[in-house]
Amino acid sequence: MAQHDQLHRYLFENFAVRGELVTVSDTWQQIMEHHDYPAPVKTILGELLVATSLLTATLKFDGDITVQLQGDGPMNLAVINGNNNQQMRGVARYKGEIPADADLKTLVGNGYLVITITPAEGERYQGVVGLEGDTLAACLEDYFLRSEQLPTRLFIRTGDVEGKPVAGGMLLQVLPAQDAQADDFNHLAALTETIKAEELLTLPANDVLWRLYHEEEVTLYDPQNVEFKCTCSRERCADALRTLPDEEVNSIIADEGEIDMNCDYCGNHYVFNSMDIAEIRNNASPADPQVH
């Protein structure tokens, strides 16, 4: 039985191609925990989570990646944010009835896939592609085609294992600055594409690789854990409050007695009373270099 919430990297010894394999279960469930998402929204969040994990694993530096779907459909936003330590969080917004069999196009409508790469140090990069593919994987491949030189393929599967939702994915990418023959890459991609959800979501990684590539020499590296982690904090909420006009804050305090800020990602509440607000304003004096 596979251990979920792990990311594996692997390398083909005879081709300049690398691979990644990830499955997520607890991480996905924790993202959905404080929401009552319709099934198609859950599925797309699982796919986005897998995609974000695979993409962050391609980073050569510390930083994070946000993969976001936005459009004019009933699900106008779905976003997953993850970092190079495979700490993930995400949220979706939707309105109205969502048909149980809604596909990507029905959910997002006319929309975009937005990928934002934020290095811990250095310039932020953002790539935007229209939703032309039928699946998230196809849209991501389109993004790689337009934004990077490295040929990349993604394969994403979702399902249930023993009553729990599990999502998994594989990524193949030509190694930078090496000559992988297009035929070889296409051959490996064709093998990878045959992966069934049941195999990817239930078998240990080395069994999956054996089933797909038993005629190839493949090195599988130690896995990295994937986990749910929200980056919200009381300090960040205080920063957000500082950006609001005083009258607005005063009016909420007058009406409610306190300000209750709720994190969309993890469901945490941060409560500020009038004493807290006074302290925040004190700390926000012009002498404070942190305040812009």
Stretch that binds Zn ion, among 25-33, 43-51, 97-105, 226-234 (CB under 5 A): 226-234
The count of chain residues that interact with Zn ion, using the rule CB under 5 A, is: 6
In whole angstroms, the minimum distance from the beta carbon of 274 to Zn ion comes to 24
Asked whether position 228 contacts Zn ion by CB under 5 A, the answer is no
Asked whether position 266 contacts Zn ion by CB under 5 A, the answer is yes
Decide if 53 contacts 24 (C-beta within 8 A): yes
Kindly calculate the radius of gyration of the chain based on its CA atoms and give it in whole angstroms.
Answer: 21
Q: Identify any residues that bridge with 277 across adjacent strands, giving them in sequence order.
A: none
H or E element, residue 113: strand 111-119
In whole angstroms, the minimum distance from the beta carbon of 167 to Zn ion comes to 21
Question: Which residue, 131, 137, 144, is CA-closest to 47?
Answer: 137
H or E element, residue 206: helix 205-213
Distance CA(87)–CA(266), nearest Å, equals 13
Asked whether position 263 contacts Zn ion by CB under 5 A, the answer is yes
Q: Identify any residues that bridge with 231 across adjacent strands, giving them in sequence order.
A: none
In whole angstroms, the minimum distance from the beta carbon of 1 to Zn ion comes to 31
Stretch that binds Zn ion, among 68-76, 78-86, 217-225, 227-235 (CB under 5 A): 227-235
Asked whether position 232 contacts Zn ion by CB under 5 A, the answer is yes
In whole angstroms, the minimum distance from the beta carbon of 214 to Zn ion comes to 44
Between the two ends of the chain, the Cα-to-Cα distance in Å is 52
Asked whether position 138 contacts Zn ion by CB under 5 A, the answer is no
Asked whether position 261 contacts Zn ion by CB under 5 A, the answer is no
Take residue 198 and report the two structure tokens written for it: 């049941």
Asked whether position 88 contacts Zn ion by CB under 5 A, the answer is no
**Interface ranges with Zn ion (CB under 5 A):** 230, 232, 263, 265-266, 268
